[in-house]
Amino acid sequence: SEGDILTNSHVVNGADQVTVTLKDGRSFEGVVEGEDSVTDLAVVKIEADTGELPVAPLGDSNQVQVGDWAIAVGNPLGLDNTVTLGIVSTLKRSSASVGIPEKRLDFIQTDAAINPGNSGGPLLNQSGEVIGINTAIRADAMGIGFAIPINKAKEIKDQLVRGEAIAHPYLGVQIATLTAEIARRNNEDPNAGIMLPEVEGVLVVRVVPETPAAQSGLRRGDIILEVDGQSVVSADMLQSKVENSQVGQILQLKIQRGNNTEQLQVTTAELDSST
């Protein structure tokens, strides 16, 4: 009712002003109050008389469960006000695990049809409450779409409206979940470029030069076993631990390198969200 509109950063794409068209045909000039490319969220402000604007009730994404109904609303391929129905397929699907390493998010995954033009639209539950902001799809598959949980979106929105910069701690690695079975299959492949220990952890696929990971001594092929004494058994877990740390925080890593285990310290830095 205050004229704040949550959408995706890639929808406004760096614009200062946008045109917002409502379902009833009315158009408003909107001002981009703030955006954050790393979480792909933006807030657009429009001015209208109090009570004139429709309001979508916001749900609680922490209460969403796998198998819940999911309803996507948007304008895919220019087809206004398209509604599709599916279910919640998975929760806390990390952006790194779905091939979007430049983002720092845990998505709601849904099989409700999401296509170009759905970005920034709501994902609703069966009560009509917004549980997510539709943001991405897997172009190489059908029935796999991703939405930013509304609780996370609300948190970022409040910071953007206050004019605050969104801090994103990072290490500077590309990672993948490693299990004993994955390592075994890799090691049996005569074309494998590297032999992997048959353990559970997070495989360092690449270390980006001149980043905290590189400065700490992490190398390609290292297996991260623990962070601050807690086991990490998936790329999702490691990403979540880093994202929930503070910029400049020292993390204690236990790694396996070949047949040996080692301890490393890495100090998180702030990811540049302007790129």
| Catalytic hit among 9, 119, 216, 234 | 119
- 9, 37, 40, 61: the catalytic one is 40
Task: Name the 3-class secondary structure at 86.
Answer: strand
Domain count of the fold of the chain: 2
Query: What is the chain's pLDDT, residue by residue, as a tens digit (275 residues)?
Result: 678 899 999 999 878 889 988 888 888 899 999 999 888 999 999 987 756 788 889 999 999 999 999 999 988 777 888 899 999 999 988 787 777 766 778 899 999 988 877 889 999 999 999 999 999 887 677 789 999 999 999 999 999 999 888 888 999 998 889 999 999 999 999 998 888 989 999 999 999 999 999 999 999 999 999 999 999 998 888 988 998 899 999 999 999 998 899 999 999 999 875 54
Give how far Cα 102 sits from Cα of 37, 38, 105, 172, 224, Å: 9, 7, 10, 10, 20
Task: Say which of 4, 10, 68, 273 is annotated catalytic.
Answer: 10
> What's the confidence (pLDDT) of residue 25?
83
Same domain, 20 and 77: yes
Distance CA 260, CA 248 (A): 28
Q: Please say if 61 is a catalytic residue.
A: no
pLDDT number for residue 143: 81
Assess if residue 275 is contained within a domain. no
**155 and 202 together in one domain:** no
Asked, for residue 120, whether it belongs to a domain, the answer is yes
The CATH number for 224's domain is 2.30.42.10
The answer to whether 243 touches 228, Cβ cutoff 8 Å, is no
Q: What is the pLDDT of residue 275?
A: 43
Final residue of a domain: which of 99, 132, 165?
A: 165
Q: So what's the pLDDT on residue 146?
A: 93
Statement to judge: residues 38 and 102 lie in one domain: yes
The answer to whether 168 is a known catalytic residue is: no
Q: How far apart are CA 31 and CA 35, in angstroms?
A: 11
75 and 99 belong to one structural domain: yes
What is the structure's pLDDT at 86?
A: 96
Q: Is 40 a catalytic residue?
A: yes
CATH code of residue 102: 2.40.10.120
Same-domain check for residues 209 and 115: no
Residues 93 and 183 in one domain: no
Given 133, 165, 197, which residue is the final one in a domain? 165
pLDDT at 45: 92
In DSSP notation, 199-259 reads --EEEEEEE-TTSHHHHHT--TT-EEEEETTEE--SHHHHHHHHHTS-TT-EEEEEEEETT
Which residue range forms the structural domain that includes residue 41?
1-165
Tell me, yes or no, whether 210 and 148 share the same domain: no
Confirm whether 142 is domain-assigned: yes
